[in-house]
């Protein structure tokens, strides 16, 4: 029975694997609709089955999920069966699982990050998920920028060796001291020197990087490099972007996509001009009520369908 499930899973996940392959290689030349998805973190307060049911109710055919319990307990490494997740997604009518946020995913700030991200990579491989996401996190107290870059390089080298062995793309998300600017993203990618490291761009995270200190939602540290808005930063790094988190904020708090401050239409125009072949996925922090999260997801599906492929 298990073997039969694995074969079926391979067929089901061929679409998701194709998402990563075309995003990284650019081999596909024919114009195709940009895939739109939803992060299960939008419904992180409910069990995975209900979260996926609500994502399908909104209309999404692709989803990504997280291995960052208990905050978002939808995948628990060492406990959950990767075949069971694939079967669940298939049985609920999804066309693919496009990404998995890493356990201990703050590579720069978390000493357990190498073990956490590499374990996530192996789990994703077993589940047929083509991409894992991680960030850098805060720079350790008293560390220079150059030492932070070297530490990031050394840890990413170990992670990317495992990524290459498993043919899993690692999507670095703007989520810390180094990664919130174009300069930081470029330095990390250049130092890594690996085709398996790309960018999972997050519109809201980068938008908040230009908040002045003291504003609600502002970061309490100075990012590496020059603070620029989400459109300027995306323009500088779009060639390495393989996944896009469509997230919006108002006064630092997540909100519906059409309702916030981030220039999502400007970002979408850049993606279309580049011939983006990845996934544009709704994300929030999952802090809203389930009913409000459903409203955000329902609205986002219509909004993304129109803006990306209308």
pLDDT of residue 33: 83
Q: How far apart are CA 74 and CA 197, in angstroms?
A: 24
Residues with Cβ within 8 Å of 286's Cβ and at least 6 positions away in sequence, in order, are: 41, 42, 43, 44, 45, 72, 293
Q: What is the largest CA-CA distance in the chain?
A: 57
Q: Which of 252, 310, 240, 255 is nearest to 286 (CA)?
A: 255
Q: Could you give the dihedral angle defined by the CA atoms of residues 214, 215, 217 and 223, in that order, rounded to the nearest 10 degrees?
A: -60
CB 158 within 8 A of CB 198: no
Alpha helix segments (H runs only) across the chain: 2-25, 48-58, 82-91, 113-127, 145-166, 182-192, 203-208, 230-237, 264-274, 290-309
At 233-285, the pLDDT tens digits run: 999 999 999 999 999 999 999 999 999 999 999 999 999 999 999 999 999 99
All domains in the chain, ordered by first residue: 2-25+34-309 (3.20.20.150)
Q: What is the pLDDT of residues 3-13, one digit of tens each?
A: 333 334 444 44
Task: Phi first, then psi: give them for residue 30, nearest 5 degrees.
Answer: -70, 140
Cis peptide before 70 (omega within 30 of 0): yes
232-250 burial: b if 16+ Cβ within 10 Å, else e? bbbbebbebbbbbbbbbbe
CA gap 122, 137 in Å, rounded: 22
Q: Which residues contact 284 (CB under 8 A, 6 or more apart)?
A: 39, 41, 42, 247, 254, 293, 296
Q: Which of 118, 98, 119 is nearest to 20 (CA)?
A: 98
- Percentage of residues in the chain having pLDDT higher than 90: 88
Does residue 16 have a pLDDT over 80?
Answer: no
Residue pLDDT, tens place only, 53-89: 999 999 999 999 999 999 999 999 999 999 999 999 9
pTM across the whole model: 0.90
Residue 157 CB contacts under 8 Å (≥ 6 apart), including other chains: 192
pLDDT bin (cut points 50, 70, 90) of residue 309 is confident
């Amino acid at each position: 029975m298990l073997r039969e499930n694995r074969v079926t899973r391979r067929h089901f996940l061929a679409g998701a694997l194709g998402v990563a392959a075309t995003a990284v290689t650019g081999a596909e030349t024919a114009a195709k609709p940009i895939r739109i998805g939803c992060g299960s973190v939008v419904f992180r307060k409910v069990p995975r089955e209900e979260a996926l049911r609500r994502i399908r109710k909104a209309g999404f055919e692709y989803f990504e999920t997280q291995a960052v319990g208990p905050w978002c307990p939808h995948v628990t490494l060492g406990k959950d069966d990767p075949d069971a997740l694939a079967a669940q997604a298939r049985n609920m009518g999804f066309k693919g699982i496009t990404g998995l946020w890493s356990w201990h995913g703050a590579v720069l700030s978390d000493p357990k990050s190498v073990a956490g991200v590499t374990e996530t990579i192996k789990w994703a491989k077993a589940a047929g998920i083509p991409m894992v996401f991680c960030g850098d996190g805060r720079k350790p107290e008293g560390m220079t920028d150059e030492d932070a870059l070297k530490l990031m390089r050394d840890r990413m080298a170990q992670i990317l060796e495992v990524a290459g062995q498993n043919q899993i793309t690692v999507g670095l998300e703007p989520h810390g001291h180094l990664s919130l600017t174009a300069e930081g993203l470029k330095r990390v990618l250049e130092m890594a020197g690996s085709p398996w490291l790309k960018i999972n761009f997050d519109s809201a995270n980068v938008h908040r990087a230009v908040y002045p200190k003291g504003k609600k939602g502002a970061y309490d540290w100075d990012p590496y490099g020059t603070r620029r808005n989400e459109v300027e930063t995306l323009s500088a790094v779009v060639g390495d972007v393989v996944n896009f988190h469509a997230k919006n904020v108002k006064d630092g708090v997540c909100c519906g996509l059409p309702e916030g401050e981030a220039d999502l239409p400007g970002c979408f125009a850049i993606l279309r001009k580049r011939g983006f072949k990845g996934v544009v996925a709704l994300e929030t922090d999952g802090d809203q009520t389930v009913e409000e999260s459903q409203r955000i997801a329902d609205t986002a599906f219509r909004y993304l369908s129109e803006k990306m492929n209308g």
